[in-house]
Chain A
Amino acid sequence: MSTVTHALAVPRSNAFKRFFTAREVPVAGALIALIAVTYIVNPRFLSPQSTKDLMLNATIMVILAVAQALVIVTRNVDLSVGAILGLVAFGTGTVFNMFPAIPLVLVFVIGMIFGGLLGSINGMLVTSAKVPALVITLGTLYIFRGVLTSWAGSTQYFSGDNPKAFGNLSVDTLVGIPIITIIAVVITVAVAMFMSSVRSGRDLYAIGSDPDAARLFGIPVGGRVLSAFIACGALTGLAGVLYASRYNSVGALTGSGIELDVVAAVVVGGVAIFGGSGTVAGAAIGAVLLSTITGALTATRVDKFWQQAIVGVLILAAIIIDRVVSLRKTRKLRANEAKNV
């Protein structure tokens, strides 16, 4: 029997080609183009203070985008991140108010555990009730926001109430990069490596592509999705702690409305809304891009009213590119299969 030796004749694309067709390239390209153009128009855009601001502004968005990407890859979404951010940020203020001498590391741990707990509520509802995460997290968005508002009332914690060292995290730099930005970068790299190399990370992609097939394959879908939500919550909690360090006050309205921005950043960064593809690196770049737009618009003195519209156009462009790319890939795969028949 003639064995079809070319059964797996997928053309070995060289690393060069793979690099350039990676989904992150258009986003990164857009970011670089944006910075370059703005710099040409207004060189002060890259002054030390300005760059520092850009990095600081992006930090929290990056962590939130990485967290959200974990969930979106599994074909879910978490709309309650804004409320979780607010709850943890306010919680941080409360903790410092009650224990002024508490070691900073402990505060971070408490924040992440708190966030993880809230994320687990989402995760358990989604996995046990078999209802789309969109609906569940919409409900928990209302519930968490309500809890935060009644807990906080009109109390606000100001940065003056926190230990100096805590506030300095957002000011001090290491080789010119703010400390909290370094934290964000480390997290992005860690999660990216987890998603691409560790088995349970790769399972998330499988679940997003086809949950039923993943289940048949033996992947514990419920457990993985629950972990994704817990991780998302914990990372959002971390972002909440950093928020309290960076901004002047935390109160009942902290984090309101940030959820759609985060989802937008993730989509722009190449993560498909129906799961199964995209990387956290892309999501992180998407977050940087969106938070840089504000700065770029003011630096070029473009009417800031255009900002929202530009964000909308970017999202649509990202989705269209995704679609075109995936259509091409499907066609190519189909053509390859036909050859092998």
Chain B
Amino acid sequence: MSKTMTSTSRGHWGRRFIGHDAVIFYILISVVIVSMISVNYFASTLTVGFLLIQVLPILLIAMPMALVIVSGEIDLSVASTAGLTSATMGVLWRDSGLDIGTVMALSLLVGVLCGAFNGFLITTLGLPSLAVTIGTLALYRGLALVVIGDQKVASFPMELNAFVLSKIGNTGIPVMMIFVVIVIAFFSVLLHFTPFGRGLYALGYSPQAATFVGVRVGHAKFWMFVATGVVSSMVGVFLTLRLASAGPDNGTGLELSVIAAVLLGGVSIFGGKGNIPGVVGGVLLIGTLTYALRLAKVPETALIIVTGGLLVLSVVAPSVIAWGKERIRLNRMHREVQGHNASGTTRA
């Protein structure tokens, strides 16, 4: 057959501008513009500050989580790692007499250990990541309770708390965003520009094929879970300083928000697809929409429904679109085949 049956794209540019993550950003920009016009008080430096601080934990954890999901795994224990870190930080600060810098460094170590434990169970013992991280979700949160009990520790140095919330000059952008941008850039480069990153896509698409191609599957997965653990503990430290209070319930429920945002950003739950800018867009979209609707006095319950609806829509829509495209393609193919078979005359 001279004509290939594969669906030829209607030009590369058409695809690029209507790719998933591009759509997310169009929606995001329209939400921002509409909010600036119609929602009272939205257009102000306070918005930028409050909003970014609120989405910061989700944004940070979404980075390694995107990598984990792209490679075909999942990590539900991130919030518990943050809680355990917070509890450890509280107890260390209150009881050990070390200076705050050492306390923070030791707390980050907690993240490394948690991530490494996850990684060990998943790579060396070959256990399914969904089940393992449900287990470690309970285990780490439980350890946080054991470490600090029902108490909270609130005596952190106020300068640190002020620093964490401070903004750059008059723009309202929090100083912590610099740190966040570095983290985003790091994971971006890792995923999109290194062989390691490309290996993750291969892993997500097909672990066996990846092994044949030479990707060190166990090695890659292990370090990814460690990365997730470290970033989760960073968030734990951040939350502790921001709330000026260490407790085992810091960060509860974070994991579902992160996963929802990552999936909204175009990462496929099956693995093998997705990119970092899309994830950033997903986090900002949910965050901005929630913020704007709240400011517009929409009741909290409607916000929950909106988030859920967005999530469902974002995964159902591509399926529906793909189904639609497939039907068009099949129809076209049927027509062509019929045209060829009809007494040898090729239809135009």
Contacts and interface: CB of A to CB of B under 8 A. Distances in A.
Do any beta carbons of A and B sit within 8 angstroms of each other in the complex?
yes
Contact of B125 (A144, A264, A310, A323): A323
A166 B329 CA distance: 58
Nearest to A308: B142
Contacts, number: 141
A142 B316 contact: no
Contact of A129 (B136, B256, B319): B319
Interface residues of A, number: 42
Interface string B183-219: 0000000000000000000000000000000000000
Given A134-B269, A139-B311, A142-B308, A260 B263 contact: no
Contacts of A313: 135, 139
Contacts of A200: none
B316 A125 contact: yes
Contacts of B127: 319-320, 323
Contacts of B316: 125, 129, 131, 136
Contact of B305 (A134, A142, A310): A142
Interface string B105-149: 000000000000000010001111011101111111111011001
B312 A140 contact: yes
Contacts of A81: none
Interface in A289-341: 303, 305-316, 319-320, 323
Nearest to A305: B145
A305 B150 CA distance: 9
A306 B141 CA distance: 10
A190 interface: no
Interface string B303-334: 11111110110011001100000000000000
B315 A267 contact: no
B132 A149 contact: no
A316 B135 CA distance: 5
B131 A135 contact: no
B106 to A, nearest CB: 20
A307 B144 CA distance: 11
A301 to B, nearest CB: 15
A305 B145 CA distance: 5
A329 to B, nearest CB: 15
B20 to A, nearest CB: 14
Nearest to A313: B139
B269 A132 contact: yes
A319 B263 CA distance: 26
A308 to B, nearest CB: 3
Contact of A267 (B134, B149, B319): B134
Contacts of A132: 269-270
Interface in A121-164: 125, 129-132, 134-136, 138-147, 149-150
A149 to B, nearest CB: 4
B9 interface: no
Nearest to A145: B304
Which of the listed residues A267, A306, A309 has the most CB atoms from chain B within 10 Å of its own CB?
A309
Nearest to B139: A312
Interface in B242-274: 256, 259-260, 263, 269-270
A306 B146 CA distance: 6
A273 B131 contact: yes
Nearest to B317: A129
Contacts of B125: 320, 323
Contact of A309 (B138, B263, B319): B138
B255 to A, nearest CB: 10
Given A146-B302, A303-B146, A308-B138, A315 B131 contact: yes
A312 B315 contact: no
A19 interface: no
A139 B270 CA distance: 17
B299 interface: yes
Contacts of A263: 134
A247 interface: no
Most B Cβ at <10 Å: residue of A260, A314, A319, A323? A319
A308 B248 CA distance: 12
Contacts of A145: 304, 308
B132 A319 contact: yes
A135 B145 contact: no
Given A138-B260, A319-B127, A309 B269 contact: no
Contacts of A274: 128
B142 A131 contact: no
Given A129-B315, A131-B315, A305 B146 contact: yes
A310 B311 contact: no
A309 B145 contact: yes
Given A146-B304, A149-B301, A305-B142, A315 B135 contact: yes
Contacts of A312: 135-142
A319 B259 contact: no
Given A131-B315, A319-B128, A308 B305 contact: no
B141 to A, nearest CB: 5
A145 B145 CA distance: 27
Contacts of B306: 146
Given A138-B256, A139-B309, A142-B304, A267 B145 contact: no
Contacts of A273: 128, 130-131
B310 to A, nearest CB: 8
Interface string B12-27: 0000000000000000
A313 to B, nearest CB: 6
A184 B89 CA distance: 44
Contacts of B134: 260, 263-264, 267, 315
Given A134-B74, A149-B301, A312-B138, 16 more contacts: A125-B316, A131-B315, A131-B319, A135-B311, A135-B312, A136-B312, A138-B308, A142-B311, A143-B305, A146-B308, A149-B300, A309-B139, A310-B142, A312-B142, A323-B125, A323-B127
6 contacts: A136-B316, A150-B305, A264-B134, A307-B142, A312-B139, A315-B134
Interface of A: 125, 129-132, 134-136, 138-147, 149-150, 260, 263-264, 267, 273-274, 303, 305-316, 319-320, 323
